[in-house]
Chain A
């Protein structure tokens, strides 16, 4: 916003005016660093930040770097990701003042509505931050009313991880992209006894909701409209998606244990050569490769969805409700540093997360930053991931709405009933529609 100030073009410039303007400019140049420094040091207290336990030493180092540049000290508290949401809500409800905190995207609008998090509109530079994002990512951070509710903590896209050696052995020319291609390739690998259960995915109940969107988007189906109305039921292709999902499990193309397997195990399954396909966030390639299993080096990454889309996800940072203006500005500065760029325009924080685990940021500039490019191991096709963010993926804006967690909590049971053969694809569509409608009508749990 600050960089978009319109400038009035002067009608003319005489000698006196030129000298005045020159003197003023020189004076401003001399005073600017001091003023800037004073502005940075306006808040002299300590900020409070709450994060979940992912490399807390790295969090503290990054925040320490920010403080070392003349910014306020930050008290970083870390609690586990497991139980983070109830713990954070209990703390905020109990009057804890947290200036900046990690949050799950699905909680972001709820926290604004509850008054636990502040809208970012009108904060200096926030429009530039939003403008800097991939267009596809913006609806995750800006709601339908135009309120900016959060900043990115990290982002990812669902990608296909495939075993190149197995595909070549089966005579499959290119990695499958559409659901039908995935089914056919999996069946071919199974029939040729190259691998018994070729396809794995993180289909535990808590995560089925992400796959619901991934598979629907793969077939060009949008689950919810901009108002949050469940429109997937109106699309005739939806039943076909569920029929595919059920077939993959019932026909043994995915292992029976997949309803309970964690991503660590699934990565190992790929590394050991016990599966050929694994659809999950792009950064799981790091996990598979770093396991150094007999097939790790053969696992590659490719897009899914064909001419349609894959699912883009991410968790967020939110700013606490801060009355004191100087404190709020200081916290916002920290938020910009942590969820966007540092004062030198570098993606310092995101670069660290890229090094640590291959996490990404929803900014085109992130993928062009030489430091970021160097941070990703060679086995990543960064232009492909960048392109997937830009044109090959979508976020689901409804996921940030307050009622959404209620719907999310029901998806696992409904999808598992489908996979276990207890429900038909048609009934699954009906059940999911009913779950979405009841969640929107009020608390349904």
Chain B
């Protein structure tokens, strides 16, 4: 609801600007679109390179200049990744097929559980910080942000010892617990910002109607804040999906990133198979972002036109 309101606001501003004689010139429009096109190419070129690499042979990969539009394509790299038929012809992993799909499944499980957990905890925390500020709450917010800059290597040791004692090393739970270090602050930041933009009058009306704080949060706020929650959820999912170091230390290639890193093995690389595996592992997060991109953009720009 809120992002629709924001869109309407920007449209009104656009119309007002046009009415005031500030309509964009053709030259400016061309330059703007040119910049957008250059930016899009800059972003998409590596992805295209990756996709092409996954569809050509190792020999084609070495041809100069690189065949951005290959004369012939093959699905052998995908087949070899799925069946493990890299064999002695390729270096690195030979049983990738047996490991990639389960790893994608584990990544999906870890990321999904983390999203649910984080939205619940961060939702309550962010709402509290937004609606019930206390002495030092600004400092508390800053502390949350600062906690994101602590390097993983500095805190992985205690995590390892704790999880070894509890017996959850090499399980998804080790990752779900440890990932909170960097996903929870992110979720709190996004949701706090989102809650700050929401009108308080609705909550006051609910209060007058006799709703408790938690009832107000659950019945009134959550439905209204759905775009913000979706955006935070998507970003948590993406952060969790691409995390490498915790997964490297706390598990034995349980999730996708350390598994893909396994394609580099003591100076030997199999770029084509790596490209194919990477494309396959990109599918779930890409689908997720495509579905929810409107919410992500809306929530992240919330407050920009305050």
Q: Do A and B come from one complex?
A: yes
**A residues neighboring B (CB under 8 Å):** 52-58, 77-83, 86-87, 90-91, 93-96, 202, 207, 262-265, 268-269, 271-272, 274, 280-281, 287, 290-293, 315, 355-357
CA of A277 to CA of B253 in the docked complex: distance in angstroms?
Answer: 37
CA of A291 to CA of B270 in the docked complex: distance in angstroms?
Answer: 11
**Is the Cβ of B261 less than 8 Å from the Cβ of A293?**
no
CA of A263 to CA of B91 in the docked complex: distance in angstroms?
Answer: 12
CB-defined contacts of A271 to chain B, threshold 8 Å: 59, 62
**Is the Cβ of B261 less than 8 Å from the Cβ of A57?**
no
CA of A304 to CA of B32 in the docked complex: distance in angstroms?
Answer: 57
**B residues neighboring A (CB under 8 Å):** 58-59, 61-64, 84, 88-89, 91-95, 98, 153, 156-157, 160-161, 164, 170, 244-245, 248-249, 252-253, 258-259, 261-262, 264-271
Give me 6 A-to-B residue pairs in the complex whose CB atoms sit less than 8 angstroms apart, sorted by A's number: A53-B261, A80-B264, A81-B265, A86-B153, A262-B267, A281-B267
Beyond A52-B265, A55-B92, A293-B62, 8 additional contacts (C-beta under 8 Å) are A78-B252, A79-B253, A81-B262, A82-B261, A94-B160, A94-B164, A291-B58, A357-B88
**Is the Cβ of A81 less than 8 Å from the Cβ of B253?**
no
CB-defined contacts of B156 to chain A, threshold 8 Å: 90
Q: Nearest 4 pairs between A and B by C-beta?
A: A268-B62, A53-B262, A264-B269, A94-B160
CB-defined contacts of A202 to chain B, threshold 8 Å: 267
- Which one of A54, A77, A262, A274 contacts B92 once the chains associate, using CB atoms below 8 Å? A54
Kindly report which residue of chain B lies nearest to residue A94, judged by CB atoms.
B160
**Is the Cβ of A54 less than 8 Å from the Cβ of B253?**
no
**Is the Cβ of B267 less than 8 Å from the Cβ of A80?**
no
CA of A272 to CA of B156 in the docked complex: distance in angstroms?
Answer: 44
**Is the Cβ of B258 less than 8 Å from the Cβ of A291?**
no
CA of A91 to CA of B84 in the docked complex: distance in angstroms?
Answer: 29
Shortest distance between the CB of A101 and any CB in chain B (Å): 13
CA of A138 to CA of B5 in the docked complex: distance in angstroms?
Answer: 75
CA of A33 to CA of B121 in the docked complex: distance in angstroms?
Answer: 63
Kindly report which residue of chain B lies nearest to residue A90, judged by CB atoms.
B249
**Is the Cβ of B157 less than 8 Å from the Cβ of A93?**
yes
CA of A327 to CA of B256 in the docked complex: distance in angstroms?
Answer: 34
**Is the Cβ of B95 less than 8 Å from the Cβ of A56?**
yes
**Is the Cβ of A263 less than 8 Å from the Cβ of B267?**
yes
Kindly report which residue of chain A lies nearest to residue B245, judged by CB atoms.
A83
**Is the Cβ of B91 less than 8 Å from the Cβ of A287?**
yes
CB-defined contacts of B270 to chain A, threshold 8 Å: 264
CA of A290 to CA of B244 in the docked complex: distance in angstroms?
Answer: 31
**Is the Cβ of B95 less than 8 Å from the Cβ of A91?**
no
CA of A79 to CA of B248 in the docked complex: distance in angstroms?
Answer: 7
Shortest distance between the CB of A244 and any CB in chain B (Å): 23
Kindly report which residue of chain A lies nearest to residue B90, judged by CB atoms.
A290
CB-defined contacts of B88 to chain A, threshold 8 Å: 355-357
Kindly report which residue of chain B lies nearest to residue A76, judged by CB atoms.
B252
**Is the Cβ of B164 less than 8 Å from the Cβ of A79?**
no
Shortest distance between the CB of A33 and any CB in chain B (Å): 36
Shortest distance between the CB of A86 and any CB in chain B (Å): 7
**Is the Cβ of B161 less than 8 Å from the Cβ of A95?**
yes
CA of A356 to CA of B270 in the docked complex: distance in angstroms?
Answer: 14
- Which one of B58, B84, B253, B264 contacts A78 once the chains associate, using CB atoms below 8 Å? B253
CA of A271 to CA of B262 in the docked complex: distance in angstroms?
Answer: 24
CA of A95 to CA of B159 in the docked complex: distance in angstroms?
Answer: 12
- Which one of A78, A280, A315, A357 contacts B91 once the chains associate, using CB atoms below 8 Å? A357
CA of A95 to CA of B157 in the docked complex: distance in angstroms?
Answer: 10
**Is the Cβ of B64 less than 8 Å from the Cβ of A272?**
yes
Kindly report which residue of chain A lies nearest to residue B64, judged by CB atoms.
A274
**Is the Cβ of A80 less than 8 Å from the Cβ of B253?**
yes
**Is the Cβ of B63 less than 8 Å from the Cβ of A272?**
yes
CA of A274 to CA of B62 in the docked complex: distance in angstroms?
Answer: 9
**Is the Cβ of A91 less than 8 Å from the Cβ of B91?**
no
Q: Name, among A55, A80, A293, the residue most crowded by chain B CB atoms within 10 Å (CB to CB).
A: A80
**Is the Cβ of A53 less than 8 Å from the Cβ of B92?**
yes
- Which one of B94, B248, B252 contacts A57 once the chains associate, using CB atoms below 8 Å? B94
**Is the Cβ of B268 less than 8 Å from the Cβ of A91?**
no
**Is the Cβ of B252 less than 8 Å from the Cβ of A94?**
no
CB-defined contacts of B64 to chain A, threshold 8 Å: 272, 274
Shortest distance between the CB of A60 and any CB in chain B (Å): 9
- Which one of B89, B262, B264, B266 contacts A290 once the chains associate, using CB atoms below 8 Å? B89
